[in-house]
């Protein structure tokens, strides 16, 4: 999904486009809002833009480079989607440890390591605390 397909988030898209163009990306971004605000899609598209090898400054990924291609296939080595699994739809501590190990490594192909947690409300208390501690005290 391209930014132009995300409706009603012009201010957010403008801010994210400026982040991408400047190369000054905060180490963590939180996308919140009521259902239907396309926060999940906006976060995923921002990740795709950051991984685009064409270094887009217009707020759109090229869609044809290796980074865009790997992202579309959900196989980019610098992206981690932490989705709830199982019948209970909770993110368990083992999955959180895997995420934190991933984030502790240097990027493989691109400049950034990106983790997207679309359902952060499904984190167990222990998982949420571990991620919060990691965000407060990130590694070098």
- As to burial, measured by CB atoms within 10 angstroms (0-12 exposed, 13-18 middle, 19+ buried), residue 48 is buried
Residue 109: name the closest of 28, 37, 53 by CA.
53
State pLDDT tens for residues 94-135: 889 999 999 999 999 888 899 998 888 888 889 889 999 999
Number of CB atoms found within 10 A of residue 18's CB: 12
- As to burial, measured by CB atoms within 10 angstroms (0-12 exposed, 13-18 middle, 19+ buried), residue 20 is buried
- Paired tokens of 6: 């995300």
State pLDDT tens for residues 49-105: 999 888 666 678 888 899 999 999 999 999 999 888 777 677 888 889 999 999 999
Helix (H) or strand (E) holding 79: strand 79-81
Triad 63, 18, 48: Cα angle to 5° = 25
State pLDDT tens for residues 1-58: 677 677 778 888 888 988 888 888 898 898 888 888 888 888 988 999 999 888 666 6
């Amino acid at each position: 999904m391209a930014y132009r397909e995300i409706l009603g988030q012009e201010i957010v898209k403008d801010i994210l486009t400026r982040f991408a163009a400047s190369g000054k990306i905060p180490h963590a971004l939180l996308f919140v809002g009521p259902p239907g605000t396309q926060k999940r899609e906006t976060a995923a598209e921002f990740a795709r833009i950051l991984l685009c090898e064409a270094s887009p400054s217009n707020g759109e990924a090229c869609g044809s480079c290796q980074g865009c291609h790997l992202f579309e296939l959900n196989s980019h080595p610098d992206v981690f989607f932490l989705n709830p699994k199982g019948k209970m739809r909770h993110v368990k501590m083992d999955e959180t440890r895997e995420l934190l190990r991933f984030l502790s490594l240097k990027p493989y192909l691109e400049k950034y390591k990106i983790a997207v947690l679309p359902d952060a409300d499904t984190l167990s208390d222990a998982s949420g605390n571990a991620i919060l501690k990691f965000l407060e005290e990130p590694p070098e």
